[in-house]
Amino acid sequence: MSVIIDLLIDSQDCFIPEKKAFKTWVNAAANLSYDTELCIRIVDEKESATLNYHWRKKTGATNVLSFPALLPEGMPQVTLGDIVICAPVVEAEAKMQLKQLTAHWAHMVIHGTLHLLGYDHINEDDALEMETAETQIMCALGFDDPYKNNLASNNSTKINTTHIL
């Protein structure tokens, strides 16, 4: 089955992958037995910072925020929710971490999608499970392990993301 993606771009002057790439990455992460949809909104630093403060009480822009759909019990999962990605932050991180820009975009989309599916990295066990899933998906798509060169952190919560309920 597949995921229908509503892609909204509200960021300028940054590289944004083609919609086809987003679809490939989301479907690889979701691997669902039913059709569903999600919205991916690409934003600038100002909007990311506003959302990050409103939902997490943290200052500054962040790379990706996930907003799972809260549907009534028993209702079909017609939508997974929303992912908000800050293009300038993703671009800056890729440069700082010496990662291929497209690979970092793929990682952010996969990471956000896994959050919509219930994965999290709040504790060490959950972080290991999520990072393992991300690495397997990235490698299956032909990308390197997204965590192999991450020198900026220790063994858990390697990227600045959140799953908002």
Residue 148 contacts residue 103 (beta carbons within 8 Å): no
Per-residue b/e over 118-145, b at no fewer than 16 CB within 10 Å? ebbbeeeeebeebbebbbebbeeeebee
The pLDDT assigned to 155 comes to 37
Judge whether residue 84 has pLDDT over 80: yes
The pLDDT assigned to 150 comes to 62
Q: Would you state the structure tokens that stand for residue 112, as one six-digit string? A: 């956000």
* Other C-beta atoms lying within 10 Å of the C-beta of residue 96: 10
Cα–Cα dist 63/86, whole Å: 5
Kindly give, in sequence order, each residue whose CB lies less than 8 Å from that of residue 69, ignoring residues fewer than 6 positions away.
77, 79, 80, 81, 82, 116
Q: Would you state the structure tokens that stand for residue 18, as one six-digit string? A: 């083609």
Residue with tokens 């499970």: 129
The pLDDT assigned to 74 comes to 84
pLDDT-derived band at 75, boundaries 50, 70, 90: confident
Cα–Cα dist 147/51, whole Å: 26
Percent of the chain with pLDDT over 70: 90
The pLDDT assigned to 71 comes to 85
